[in-house]
Amino acid sequence: MKKIGFIGMGNMAQAIASGWIGRKLLEGDQVYAYAPHQDKLKKNAARIGFIPCREPGEMVAACDVIIMACKPYQIEGVLKEIGDRLGGKALLSIAAGWNYRKYSPYLGDSTRFQYIMPNTPAMVGEGVMLFEETNSLEEEEHEEIMELFRALGRVEIIPDHLMGVAMAITGCGPAFVDLVIEALGDAGVKYGLPRAQVYALASQMILGSAKLQLDTGEHPGVLKDKVCSPAGTTIRGVDALEHKGVRAAFIDAVDAIMEF
């Protein structure tokens, strides 16, 4: 594998770098990073094992693959500073909204590009990595990069026009699930369960339910029906949720994101 450099070293970049180095997919001397807050960068470098750089140009010169991991509003300025040094290199972007079409005016013909949207569960190796279908990576290079990201979770290639809704579900969805965990936690506390314990119970229940659907491939409605015995407790809870419009609430949440 070639040398990979990060521009920006926030939580997601740290998760990606630590996942690759921790799983021995890359050695520490194959991973470089630049971030403006040098003290914090050096602490993260010591903890994770990558090589910190003082300037973005230094990092770009040392690496074959560059990952744009800074804030979206910073990208234009970064590209103005280093864009002419990206010739012959592969550029990956994990910054929301900066897709192939948006990058195209800033990149030369020899810069290969791929837009990728990870989500926060990548920090524990259970993320979803959305790869925009349109890219200019070489075929072997594309597969090699997808294999690296598979170490952090599930990789899916998404048509360009569907990236927005896919990101709404996988990128914003963890916050929706966290609300569910918190709400179930409050319900458990109401009836006497310790908060830490009920959070663990709810989180494990969601993890197990998700794995059951993924492993069996069964429709979620079928799995729901298997838990709902006639005149039983679960169907009463499902009925209460339906009366509160739980399905519509989740669809409305995605609609609100798509309208932003």
Which two structure tokens, joined as six digits, stand for 154? Answer: 């599930």
Residue matched to tokens 């810069």: 111
Model confidence at 1, in pLDDT bands (50, 70, 90)?
A: low
> What pLDDT does residue 8 have?
96
pTM confidence score: 0.93
For residue 195, what is the domain's CATH number? 1.10.3730.10
**Whole-angstrom Cα Rg for the chain:** 21
> What pLDDT does residue 123 have?
87
pLDDT per position as a tens digit, 136-148: 999 999 999 999 9
| E-assigned strand segments in 84-223 | 90-93, 112-117, 127-132, 153-158
Which two structure tokens, joined as six digits, stand for 247? Answer: 């399905």
Cα gap 37→181, rounded to integer Å: 34
Q: Report strand pairing: 90-93 vs 112-117.
A: parallel
Structural domain span for residue 134: 4-159
Same domain, 254 and 141: no
Counting the structural domains of the chain, the total is: 2
Same domain, 60 and 24: yes
